[in-house]
Structure 1
């Protein structure tokens, strides 16, 4: 492995670990833990690639410091989970980018994750239906084995045939992937939250519909949601040991 390659890994590690420290300092512990783990692994890979013992010692010292901090955060997060007091909040600012569903939900998806409950009254119009489709695609690509996706939403009274047709097609497509879409409607739903069966609850002020409309069909951000500008919203993350089931629809 060339010296440039090692330098590249070290630079990548520094960038990820800088982000970890920033998240750590703002109380976004679960996200910071993911970044610490990624950064530590990059430093380990860089250390394995060098032969100079003084450089290896330098890497070992850095790795130990970050590992100690990561273990401290993990213990802190586990204790808050146990006490039922875990809550962190992030604010997505107007026109911000970098908040795709993969980026937002990744820290809270574990390998043991199999079931998700989505409550969002606005999975009705075309762009909202595409948002939900992208959310489902994200789950299929995530390091988990999702088996059931529950959706509670409201019916589009003006054009319920499009909504029904789209969700029916998605249900069939998910079924072919071994995933069940459990669809329910409610005329009184107003809360927006997403619950994972590993205990994480994510409440987004705007639900899944926090992206701005792209400037055009061939504008940057049209396909890649990490590059899509966002509308201002707040995300609250909680953890509970007992994940409730989907609410009964009220008509």
Structure 2
């Protein structure tokens, strides 16, 4: 690593590990674990580039401490998963930012993920359809091998709406990426739930529709959803060995 890049990598490591500790203190263990792992890797990169022996010793101690905590979290979460007791809760405050689909779902997406179920009664209006599309795009970008996405939603009875044509277009587009979109409708669906076949279950009070309308088409947050303000909602995360198939 070039020495002129070192301060930037150090700064990134500090930022990521600070976030890891914050998440850890809030009992958001899976997210904390991801941040610990990313931060440790950055510190390892710094360690390779540092020449000063005193600094090397400092970073070795830091890395050791963070690795020990990451291992403790891993053992704790594994035990909870085995016992079927894993539960995390994230409270999204009104007008808060930093909750794009990538930020929210990334800790639960692993290489073994191949199938996703989305149950959300409100994938009907234009902005809701775009939300679902962004969710699908997020799955495409993450390091997973998703092959099937199931959507269960309610059908818009107004024949003039875009729902059926938009979902048909999404289905065709995803097929070009070797992903099958299975669309089912229910007139009685009420609950909102997203299930991954790696065992994770994410329940969001408002479903995928937790973002506020941007103030304008050229306002910050219009494109980057990490900068988009959110409605107040609660996210509950569970884990089960056997993801229910419907």
TM-score range, shorter chain: over 0.9
- What does residue 35 of structure 1 align with? 35
CA deviations 1:18-77 (Å, max 9, x no partner) are 111111111100000000001101100000011222211111111000000000000000
Gaps of 5+ in 2: none
Residue in 1 that maps onto 2:164: 164
Corresponding position of 2:82:
82
**Structure 1: gaps (5+ residues):** 247-251
1:5 maps to 5
Where 1:151 maps in the other structure, the secondary structure is: strand
Give the Cα–Cα distance (whole angstroms) in 2 for the partners of residues 187 and 160 of structure 1.
19
Deviations 1:68-111 (A, max 9, x none): 00000000000000000000001000111110000000000000
- Which has the higher mean CA deviation after the structures are superposed, 20-29 or 46-55? 46-55
Q: How far has the Cα of 1:137 moved from its partner?
A: 0.3
CA distance in 2, matches of 1:159, 1:208: 23
User: Do the aligned partners of residues 221 and 159 (structure 1) sit closer, same or farther apart at CA in structure 2, a change above 3 Å counting?
Assistant: farther
- Report the number of matched residues: 246
Aligned to 1:55: 55
User: Counterpart in 1 of 2:226?
Assistant: 226
Name the CA distance, whole Å, in 1 between partners of 2:10 and 2:65. 16
Distance in 1, matches of 2:2 and 2:197, equals 44
Stretch of structure 1 that moved more, 125-134 or 49-58: 49-58
The two structures have a TM-score, normalised by structure 1, of: 0.96
CA distance in structure 2 between the partners assigned to 1:15 and 1:148 by the alignment: 35
Q: Is the aligned partner of 1:23 residue 2:23?
A: yes
Which whole-Å CA distance do the structure 2 matches of 1:240 and 1:34 have between them? 20
The whole-number CA distance in structure 2 between the counterparts of 1:107 and 1:160 is: 39
In 1: Cα distance, 2:161 partner to 2:228 partner: 29
How many angstroms apart in 2 are the aligned matches of 1:245 and 1:143?
Answer: 23
Equivalent-residue separation in structure 1 for 2:16 and 2:143 (angstroms): 20
Distance 1:66 1:90 in 2: 23
Aligned to 1:249: none
Alignment of 1:205-220 (within 5 A): 205-220=205-220
Matches within 5 A, 1:40-189: 40-159=40-159, 161-189=161-189
Q: Structure 1 CA distance, aligned partners of 2:47 and 2:231?
A: 42
What is the SS of the residue equivalent to 2:162?
Answer: helix
